[in-house]
Amino acid sequence: MKVLLIGSGGREHVLAWKIAQSPLLTKLYCAPGNGGIREVAECVAINADDIDGLLAFAKKESIDLTVVGPEALLVAGIADRFKAEGLAVFGPGKEAAQLEGSKAFAKEMMSKYNVPTAEYEVFTNENEAKHYAIEAEMPVVVKADGLAAGKGVKICESSQEAVVAISQMMSGDLFGEAGKKVVVEQLLEGEELSVLALTDGETIISLASSQDHKRAYDSDRGPNTGGMGAYSPCPQIGDDVFNRVMETCVAPLIKGLAAEGITYSGILYAGIMLTKSGPYVLEYNCRFGDPEAQVVLPRLKSDLLQVMKEVADGKLQTKVLEWHEKACLGVVMASGGYPGHYENGFVIQGISAANSGEDVFVFHAGTSSDADGKITTSGGRVLTVAALGGNLRQAYDRAYDALQKIQFDHSYYRRDIGRRAMEVLR
């Protein structure tokens, strides 16, 4: 099978790495790829947002399956374009991708189909939003309606903070058009959980549980990011709770969309808060989580490519996925200044040494490589260093030992990924 993978981040590197292991694969292309992906795929110089160029390439090369990594492409309708040309594609169509493209749409679907989520209001008028925030019981969460690279969420402890967040978003200063509409919702408290599920729009199978760490700094301090590290599975989550999440937070949504005439096909990411009252949905994403994918997929025994093709064909025949018993933990190495301003172009050293460790994987995100193989930084989140272990503590030790072998100027990373989960295991 000839496969085209679209994207250039850490999520796409682990997808390429996993797809490359499939006996069904004959050729793997990635557009545009990154410094690590080129080790397992042929990178093609087509920008990820060039839908016409990607479509022309897929037709020219007789691609059997296109796997779409970035959410912006799915929200823009790339899956519909490919399907209209008779090409198989893994990823939801434009209507279904609104779940991530519009927080307001996602909330509307949750409310309509009885999916538990925080109480909320949607605003397109800045003064009305500010008035609501002033009157609301604190704390609240202010969310940009559109895509904001995982940074469009502001937790506000006071009315003043909420008013400032609303002003920055709705003025367009922070996220452009994506922030012109906002959702203001009640802050939920509890333990966060990431759930990934594969579906053809009817049949649903879950992937292993994982937990992301969104804040930039240790002890969950600092601004929200796209994710600074993750681990899988979540030892504090039993099968009963996980099944309840699938039954109340995933299945009703897929059925509800179908009732609206929308077939959701691909991977669905549900960000869950486990409150004292049960699981509530924080958000939906229409693609693999990043960095969740980097810790979930190394644990997967089943052939990912086979399951993706089944989903793309609308006939998900696989009923259960097989998993390694080992735990996996991943830590993001980021550029100093991220998620704000940062500089690129710093040489990265020590990747090979880190990769040589037992059950250690270095997944590239914001990297570039030249003809001589020199790897340099080219993004805010640069690498995810992941490791498998017999338990979470062993995975933690291996990942952080490997991190010590990698250097680039102005790098930083959290040092507490997975620590709270390890306290549960004591």
- 63-91 residue pLDDT tens: 999 999 999 999 999 999 999 999 999 99
Rounded to the nearest angstrom, the gap between the alpha carbon of residue 313 and the centroid of all alpha carbons in its chain is: 23
- 87-134 residue pLDDT tens: 999 999 999 999 999 999 999 999 999 999 999 999 999 999 999 999
Q: How big is the CA angle at 409 (ends 407 and 414), to the nearest 5 degrees?
A: 65
Which residue in this structure is represented by tokens 């189909």? 113
- 263-280 residue pLDDT tens: 999 999 999 999 999 999
Q: CATH second-level architecture of 191-312?
A: 2-Layer Sandwich (3.30)
Annotate 288-304 with DSSP letters as a single string: --TTHHHHHGGGB-S-H
Q: In one letter, which amino acid is 158? A: S
Q: Which long-range contacts (CB under 8 A, 24 or more apart) does 123-131 make?
A: 123/166, 123/170, 123/181, 123/182, 123/183, 123/184, 124/180, 124/181, 126/166, 126/167, 126/170, 126/171, 129/166, 129/170, 129/182, 129/184, 130/162, 130/163, 130/166, 130/167
Q: Which two tokens stand for residue 219?
A: 């002890």
**N-term to C-term CA, the chain:** 46
- What is the model's pLDDT at position 426? 63
- 194-240 residue pLDDT tens: 999 999 999 999 999 999 999 999 999 998 898 999 999 998 888 89
Which residue in this structure is represented by tokens 């402890």? 157
Q: Which helix (H) or strand (E) holds 403?
A: helix 392-403
Characterize the bridge pairing of strands 140-144 and 153-156.
antiparallel
- What is the model's pLDDT at position 150? 74
Same CATH fold assignment for domains 125-180 and 191-312: no
- 154-188 residue pLDDT tens: 999 999 999 999 999 999 988 999 999 999 999 99
- What is the model's pLDDT at position 425? 67
Q: In the structure, what pLDDT confidence band is assigned to residue 386 with cuts at 50, 70 and 90?
A: very high
Q: Which two tokens stand for residue 228?
A: 């600074």
Q: CATH second-level architecture of 327-424?
A: Alpha-Beta Complex (3.90)
Where are the domains positioned within the chain?
A: 2-94, 125-180, 191-312, 327-424
Question: CA 1 to CA 22: how far, in whole Å?
Answer: 10
Question: CA 104 to CA 109: how far, in whole Å?
Answer: 9
Per the DSSP assignment, residues forming a β-bridge with 194 are 210, 271
For residues 365-380, give the mean pLDDT.
90
Q: CATH second-level architecture of 125-180?
A: 2-Layer Sandwich (3.30)
Give 39's contacts (C-beta < 8 A, 6+ positions apart): none
Question: CA 78 to CA 302: how far, in whole Å?
Answer: 27
- What is the model's pLDDT at position 174? 85
Whether residue 405 has pLDDT greater than 70: yes
| Average pLDDT across the chain, whole number | 95
Q: CATH second-level architecture of 2-94?
A: 3-Layer(aba) Sandwich (3.40)
DSSP-derived 3-state class of residue 349: strand
Q: In one letter, which amino acid is 377? A: T
Whether residue 366 has pLDDT greater than 70: yes
Annotate 129-151 with DSSP letters as a single string: HHHHHHHSPSPEEEEESS--TT-
